């Protein structure tokens, strides 16, 4: 990462009125973050999800934000067009209260990384694939002190430790290491 980039504040702006509900953002996000890149597609693994309720004409793209170990102690409710929606519908946290923003295969939390890539993408791919401009991208100079971004593995491990305890995770890792050695480390 260059010095210049560090100073940028990256913002994806969401205009819910412009969303046509196609979910192309989900499609390309999940493909981009597949390993290897673009090798599979699964909106459930996307770090952006469109919350939709077509009959009430509600379409809200929501980004995956921080992992949290505990759910909220109390929740707000939104009433839109006479229907009440739980606050969770519009929340980006990967949290124990629900399946949203967790990898459906391994349960690890997902978080938007603005399509971190080498070389960098011009803009996050959800923005690139949103031709109706419901999602737009802006980079502004940022003077605020920034926390170093944690990598995915670190966040994943942290969430496992919070859920099962440090000891249990270490035990399983040790077990895995043994098995891997036993099989001539053929297994990943």
Chain residues in the site for other proteins (CB under 8 A): 17, 20-24, 27-28, 30-31, 34, 36-45, 52-57, 59, 104, 128-132
| The two three-digit tokens of residue 27, written as one number | 């499609």
**In contact, 24 and 130? CB cutoff 8 Å:** yes
Q: Min. distance of Cβ 140 from other proteins in angstroms?
A: 26
Q: d(Cα 13, Cα 98) in Å, to the nearest integer?
A: 25
Q: d(Cα 26, Cα 144) in Å, to the nearest integer?
A: 30
Whether the bond into 36 is cis, omega within 30 of 0: yes
Q: Min. distance of Cβ 131 from other proteins in angstroms?
A: 4
Q: Which lies closer to other proteins via its Cβ, residue 39 or residue 79?
A: 39
Q: Min. distance of Cβ 23 from other proteins in angstroms?
A: 6
**In contact, 114 and 125? CB cutoff 8 Å:** no
**In contact, 87 and 100? CB cutoff 8 Å:** no
| The residue to which tokens 């504040």 are assigned | 9
Q: Which SS3 state, helix, strand or coil, does residue 151 take?
A: coil
Q: Which lies closer to other proteins via its Cβ, residue 39 or residue 140?
A: 39
Q: Min. distance of Cβ 125 from other proteins in angstroms?
A: 9
Q: Min. distance of Cβ 95 from other proteins in angstroms?
A: 17
């Amino acid at each position: 990462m260059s010095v210049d980039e560090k100073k940028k504040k990256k913002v994806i702006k969401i205009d819910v009125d412009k969303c046509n509900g196609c979910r192309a953002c989900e499609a390309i996000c999940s493909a981009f973050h597949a390993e290897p890149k673009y090798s599979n597609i699964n909106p459930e693994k996307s770090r952006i999800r469109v919350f939709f309720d077509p009959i009430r004409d509600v379409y809200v793209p929501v980004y995956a934000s921080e992992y949290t170990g505990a759910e909220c102690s109390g929740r707000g409710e939104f009433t839109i067009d006479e229907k009440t929606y739980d606050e969770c519908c519009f929340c980006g946290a990967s949290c124990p209260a629900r399946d949203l923003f967790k990898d459906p295969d391994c349960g690890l939390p997902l978080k938007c990384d603005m399509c971190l890539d080498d070389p960098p993408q011009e803009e996050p791919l959800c923005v690139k694939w949103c031709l109706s401009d419901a999602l737009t991208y802006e980079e502004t100079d940022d003077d605020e002190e920034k926390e170093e971004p944690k990598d995915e593995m670190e966040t994943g491990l942290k969430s496992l430790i919070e859920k099962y305890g440090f000891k249990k995770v270490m035990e399983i890792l040790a077990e895995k290491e043994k098995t891997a050695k036993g099989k001539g480390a053929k297994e990943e």
